[in-house]
Amino acid sequence: MEQINNNENSAVKKRLPRRSRAAAKTGLRAEERAEKAAVKRGALKPARAEKAVAVRKSKETIKTEPDSVRTDKRRRTERNQKAVKIIFLGGVGEIGKNMAALECGNDIIIIDAGAIFPTEETPGFDLVVPDITYLLENSKKIRALILTHGHEDHIGGVPYLLKEIKVPVIGTKLTLALVDNKLREHRINDVKMQVVTPGQTIKLGCFGVHCINVNHSIAGSLAFAIDTPQGVIFHSGDYKIDLTPVAGEPIDLKTISEIGARGVLLYLGESTNIERSGFTMSETVVGATLDRLFAENARRRIIIATFASNVHRLKQIVDLAVKHRRKVVLSGRSMLNVVEAAEKIGELEIPDDVLVDISRIKNLRDSETVIVSTGSQGEPMSALTRMANGDNPSITVGANDAVIISASPIPGNEKLIYKVIDNLYRKGANVIYESIKNIHVSGHACCEEHKLMHTLLKPRYFIPVHGEYRHLKKHAQLAEELGMPENRILIPDIGNCIEITAKGGLRRLEDVPSGARLIDGEGIEDEKASTVIEDRRQLAAEGLFIVSVAVSGCEVVGEPAINSRGFVFDFHRDYNKEMREVINRAISGYDLYRGSVDELKRTIKRALKNYLYKKTKQSPMIVPVVVEL
């Protein structure tokens, strides 16, 4: 025992200054004397005394570590065991395909799985969804997919996610009813779906998700206050502050205020309408405008195009149809699906004698009909677009029609919408849209509502989400104006992985695989690696040449056949003759006995490509075809 104590004193001497050394030595000797006396009295066995000395030595060694070493260890432990990551897979730097994930240790929760419709940059595809490579690589950690609401930009990608990852899906009644419609279309079964209500808290691994009622342009919208080992992360979802909603309760500002009072570590706030000043108008304003339009067009047939998912808008239209003694006709597959889902869960009630099948529309007078249609965004295959083009087999638009477009253009859709409006005017219809009448209100918060949300939550850190880069930047600037330091705000990009701790703040980690996946029928393409999209872009921009050559044995038979599509020629020159000469020269200089068919194709393609670029400065797609006889 004596030796152990001497060694302990020696260790203490190395770590402590002289005064501390003396104090430690005195303390150790006092403990030793007490232990020896206890052994003599029989109150402490020698073996236990030795163990006590060893424990004391361990404690003393820890105490003598410098504060900086202990602090670094504590920080490393905190970061490794409890740090929370926020992974952005969509919905930042863009409008649509919203998707984010929170990760802590061995637990991941996914927030939303949205989609967007293709643009001119993605010709011929049906849908664009987020790249989920990171989720596939970490699928065993995923506890659930939680959905803020049922709009396409938040649930459109759910079927494609569930085809590859089996996880529970959590949302409100209407949201899950709309998801269920999609899963049935895709023939996806055995998906566990859990209905939640505002005020409910669900435990998902180390996360506790508290559901909060918010107002939006669809029923059943939620914000989430997520308890994590580092603190509360508040995700706003899409929201506005509507104190007089058409149905349901106003946004739960009381709960939001209470959460803010307890402390919010990080606020993830939507940014779509951040450029608009003031407050977003209540949905009830639209009802008053529509009521007036029904009265003004009493003798006309009324056609209303709106978002199928806006159940509150549909409810107002049905109520007005009853008031003005009109029958309701639904047009468009998504409109029928949403109404069916909303009726099933009791969110929408349409009297049996009011709803009429579209096949019976010819039996109704114009003055007793209101058609509720999809196509408010000018989608090429939508019901309203087909009416405007004269392609709808059930509805022919004419001079006695009043067409009300009760929606505002999603950025990028303006040309499509105005083309539809032009075509409706050409058919003699009276078209009423947002820039003429106040027939639509947004479901997103404007600037003053954002200020109120920040003030109630009082977050320590802030990350703007759901918007193009200018929206995120404006929202970040608003947070600064409200007093948040710039170093506590971060503007994310798709693929960013952000780590947050209560003491360490926000920290960018290495990006995760990200981007977009392109849906075409049953096929899925990675946008970055896709050769299909490059081919389609080239076809759209430059056109196509198909060169057919017949080979018998090792000799070319006859003249090459050249077909082109989508290529503009100078009509003053005979390009066909020149191209045949170019191809014949390339073939004549090629040894068919030594070469292969594939090499011959490459030779033809190279020769024609060089000729066309030299003469026309264009690079069309060239497809050589060698037919062996």
| 204-217 per-position pLDDT tens digit | 999 999 999 999 99
CA 145 – CA 161 distance, rounded (Å): 10
DSSP conformation class of 91? S
Ordered by start, the domain boundaries in the chain are 2-64, 81-278+443-520, 290-432, 543-628
Q: Confidence band (pLDDT; 50, 70, 90) for 435?
A: low
Tokens representing 555 are 């000799």
In the beta sheet, which residues pair with residue 222? 213
Q: Over pLDDT 70: what percentage of the chain?
A: 84
Q: Confidence band (pLDDT; 50, 70, 90) for 79?
A: very low
CA 340 – CA 192 distance, rounded (Å): 21
**CATH number for domain 543-628, candidates 3.20.20.70, 3.90.1150.10, 1.10.10.10, 3.10.20.580:** 3.10.20.580
CB count within 10 Å of CB 180 equals 16
| 134-162 per-position pLDDT tens digit | 999 999 999 999 999 999 999 999 999 99
**Residue appearing with tokens 């951040």:** 274
Q: Confidence band (pLDDT; 50, 70, 90) for 68?
A: low
Given this model, what pLDDT does residue 3 score?
37
Q: What number is the average pLDDT over the span 575-601?
A: 80
Report whether pLDDT(61) > 50.
no
Q: Which residue has the higher pLDDT, 165 or 121?
A: 165
Report whether pLDDT(17) > 50.
no
Report whether pLDDT(270) > 70.
yes
Given this model, what pLDDT does residue 364 score?
94
Given this model, what pLDDT does residue 122 score?
76
Q: Is domain 290-432 annotated with CATH 3.40.120.10?
A: no
The runs of H, that is alpha helices, within 391-496 are 414-426, 447-457, 469-481
The whole-model pTM stands at 0.78
**Residue positions counted in the chain:** 629
Q: Which residue has the higher pLDDT, 80 or 166?
A: 166
> Among 165-179, 231-245, 446-460, 552-566, where is mean pLDDT lowest?
552-566
> Among 40-49, 54-63, 369-378, 514-523, where is mean pLDDT lowest?
54-63
Tokens representing 259 are 């959460």
Class of domain 81-278+443-520: alpha beta
Given this model, what pLDDT does residue 30 score?
58
**Residue appearing with tokens 């899906």:** 169
CA 251 – CA 280 distance, rounded (Å): 13
Q: Confidence band (pLDDT; 50, 70, 90) for 23?
A: very low
| 3-state SS, residue 350 | coil
CA-based R_g, the chain, Å:
34
DSSP conformation class of 186? T
In this structure, is the dihedral angle defined by the CA atoms of residues 398, 376, 124 and 185, taken in order, positive or negative?
Answer: negative
